[in-house]
């Protein structure tokens, strides 16, 4: 008798588990989607803003800028002292410049309160890759 009761319990548990795995639970909570990658203009503004901070300590300046740089640009700008950067207070007025407006290359120029225009050149290897700054030109037309 005990064996029969145990067998019935095992069958009921197995049946219940089978149905919980085949019928997904319904929820009113939406599944979070992956946020859209920032636009090239947004990345260029972030780069110019972070670059044009001459009062920032070198390590903090470098850490804030590094995620937005290509490896070659990182190598180039790792030697820069922020105090020598000729710009500050970048305005959100970037406009595309030059002939580098392709699916893998872009350039934007921003106005800075100090030091004149700031031009950020962006690159990505494929359309799926994030935009990264390959060159920053500050304080020159």
In the numeric block, which tokens belong to residue 23?
Answer: 């019928």
Rg of the chain over CA atoms, in angstroms? 27
What are the phi and psi torsion angles at 118 (to 5°)? -125, 120
The closest alpha carbon to 45, from 106, 99, 91, belongs to 91
For the stretch 87-120, pLDDT in tens is 999 999 999 998 868 999 999 999 999 998 999 9
Residue that has been written with the tokens 């145990």 in this structure: 6
Residue that has been written with the tokens 């390959």 in this structure: 134
Q: Which domains can be identified in the chain, with CATH numbers?
A: 40-138 (3.10.450.540)
Which pTM does this prediction carry? 0.74
Contact 84, 54 (CB under 8 A): yes
Q: Between the CA of residue 18 and those of 15, 22, 118, what are the distances in Å?
A: 5, 6, 62
Given a cut of 50, whether residue 4 has pLDDT beyond it is no
For the stretch 35-90, pLDDT in tens is 788 999 999 999 999 999 999 999 999 999 999 999 999 999 999 999 999 999 99
């Amino acid at each position: 008798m005990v064996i029969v009761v145990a067998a019935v319990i095992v069958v009921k548990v197995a049946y219940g588990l089978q149905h919980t795995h085949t019928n997904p639970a319904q929820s009113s909570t939406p599944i979070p989607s992956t946020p859209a990658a920032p636009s090239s203009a947004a990345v260029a503004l972030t780069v110019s803003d972070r670059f044009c901070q001459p009062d920032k300590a070198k390590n903090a300046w470098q850490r804030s800028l590094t995620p937005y740089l290509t490896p070659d640009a990182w190598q180039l700008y790792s030697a820069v002292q922020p105090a020598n950067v000729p710009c500050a207070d970048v305005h959100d007025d970037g406009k595309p410049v030059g002939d580098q407006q392709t699916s893998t290359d872009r350039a934007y120029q921003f106005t800075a309160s100090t030091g004149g225009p700031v031009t950020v050149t962006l690159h990505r290897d494929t359309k799926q890759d994030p935009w990264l700054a390959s060159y920053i030109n500050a304080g020159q037309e």
